[in-house]
Amino acid sequence: MPLPVHISARAKDVRNLLAGLLETYELLGESDYDPVLAAALIAFGFVFIHPFADGNGRIHRYLLHHILAEKGFVPKGLVFPVSAVILARLDEYRRTLEHYSKPRLDLIEWRPADRGNVEILNETADLYRYFDATAQAEFLFECVAETVDKTLPEEVSYLKKYDLLGEFIKNSIDMPDRTVDLLIRFLDQNNGRLSKRARDKEFSRLTEAEVQTIERKYADIFYGV
């Protein structure tokens, strides 16, 4: 079998490790500990334990969002798209995970088991209970900074432009809101042009002049031309 890139905690250690992680989460929640550091410790601690056969990464990213919100780093009601930034930096994210996992492979005695699993032969709980989260915290701080400085401003700018174009379309053509949303989505997907397929199907009622007017307005709002 191929060499593993990460070995999870032993099944018999998972309950105790998660109990310790939950206790740490509660202690950090009651303290004034930095929200980003708290999120890094708990979320990466969870994904390193890797308690489930599937879904660990999704829960890991949920924990990042949950802890940042719970610690007051993110205003209530705001969707803070740090996960999107993490996934856009996937190679760095993998290196951050491997920074923890690779050195520990030499400390774990294992042998192949059924279904591509491994059987762990030595005591490994402390490898997951105690770890230096500096690399993971630094990566998360970088992603949070990019979210605040770049991603959120870009999203706000896009939404303003989206609303401007939507109002223009509704004031120019009798069209339901859902159809307007679909039209703008098609324009986004095709660099501001409505495809022949969309013209022939979903928007067959639009005249050529109306399509050209909408495309020009899209270019004006989104590209400034």
Residue 1: the pLDDT is: 58
Give me the mean pLDDT over the 187-216 stretch: 95
Segment 87-124, tens digit of pLDDT: 999 999 999 999 999 999 999 999 988 887 899 999 99
Give me the mean pLDDT over the 197-219 stretch: 95
Give me the mean pLDDT over the 193-219 stretch: 95
Residue 6: the pLDDT is: 93
Q: Mapping DSSP to helix (H, G, I), strand (E, B) and coil, where does residue 77 land?
A: coil
Q: Mapping DSSP to helix (H, G, I), strand (E, B) and coil, where does residue 72 land?
A: coil
Which pTM was predicted? 0.83
Residue 206: the pLDDT is: 95
With a cut of 70, say whether residue 5 has pLDDT above it: yes
